[in-house]
Amino acid sequence: MLVVHSWWGLTPSFVDFGESLAARGFVVGLADLFGGRTASRPADTRKLRRAPRAEPMYRTLIRNIEELQADESADGDAIGVVGFSMGGHWAVWLAQRPELPVAATVLYYAVRAGDFGASRSAFLAHFAETDDWVRPAARRRMEQAIAKAGLSYTAFDYPGTGHWFAESDRAGDHDAGAAALALERTAAFLNDTLRT
């Protein structure tokens, strides 16, 4: 499993999430697209995204997948990717690449359209009830593209939540109950998709 953080960087919330999946028996890798740097304000996230990096983000993610494939404790070659917000955009991008072994993709409050015709992934999506970052039209386009490709897709909406609801670092946005339910649904999906 590869966990891809949101635009705040690899904060403790994503480390905790990865540990929760590891406790359920998954081999988990944590992407770090900002080289250990994190942000707490939107203005700072823009700086992180613009900062020079040793390799492009897409290459970092592909390297992370290659490292997971090489891990001797992992069974099989299939990879699951869980992405939060910005990380969800990258999760879809990875799932659309037929040369990568992505068999399960989980999105937390993220959408990305494009061509899913070569994808071999099943998809699970978690959406907030109120979310200025996920436009309904963009969600429909993504869902229509996934359906057109004949891929498995399940989505859940979480009443009373907003963007970032699953991230414990975002005190004003975090919804512990919704986050716990989404985690259980994610683990069940990954079990069904990767372990069958």
Span 145-189, pLDDT tens digits? 999 999 999 999 999 999 999 999 998 899 999 999 999 999 999
Phi, psi for 142 (deg, rounded to 5): -65, -45
Determine the pLDDT at residue 196: 63
Contact 105, 92 (CB under 8 A): yes
When pLDDT is cut at 50, 70 and 90, the band that residue 75 belongs to is: confident
Look at residues 23, 37, 17 and name the one whose alpha carbon lies nearest to residue 169. Answer: 17
Instruction: Provide the b/e sequence for 85-110 (b: ≥16 CB within 10 Å).
Output: bbbbbbbbbbbbbeebbbbbbbbbbb
pLDDT of residue 42: 82
**Does the pLDDT at position 3 exceed 70?**
yes
Provide the pLDDT for residue 73. Answer: 83
Domain containing residue 74: CATH number:
3.40.50.1820
Distance CA 65, CA 102 (A): 9
53 has a pLDDT exceeding 80: no
Count of the separate structural domains present in the chain: 1
Which whole number is the average pLDDT over 4-17? 96
Whether residue 195 is predicted with pLDDT greater than 90 in this model: the reply is no
| Reported pTM | 0.95
Q: What is the pLDDT of residues 79-138, one digit of tens each?
A: 999 999 999 999 999 999 999 999 999 999 999 999 999 999 999 999 999 999 999 999
Q: Which long-range contacts (CB under 8 A, 24 or more apart) does 185-190 make?
A: 185/124, 185/126, 185/156, 186/21, 186/82, 186/106, 186/124, 186/126, 187/20, 187/21, 187/24, 189/104, 189/106, 189/122, 189/124, 189/154, 190/1, 190/21, 190/26, 190/80, 190/104, 190/106
84 neighbors 5 (Cβ within 8 angstroms)? yes
**What percent of the chain shows pLDDT beyond 70?**
99
Domain that holds residue 117: 2-194
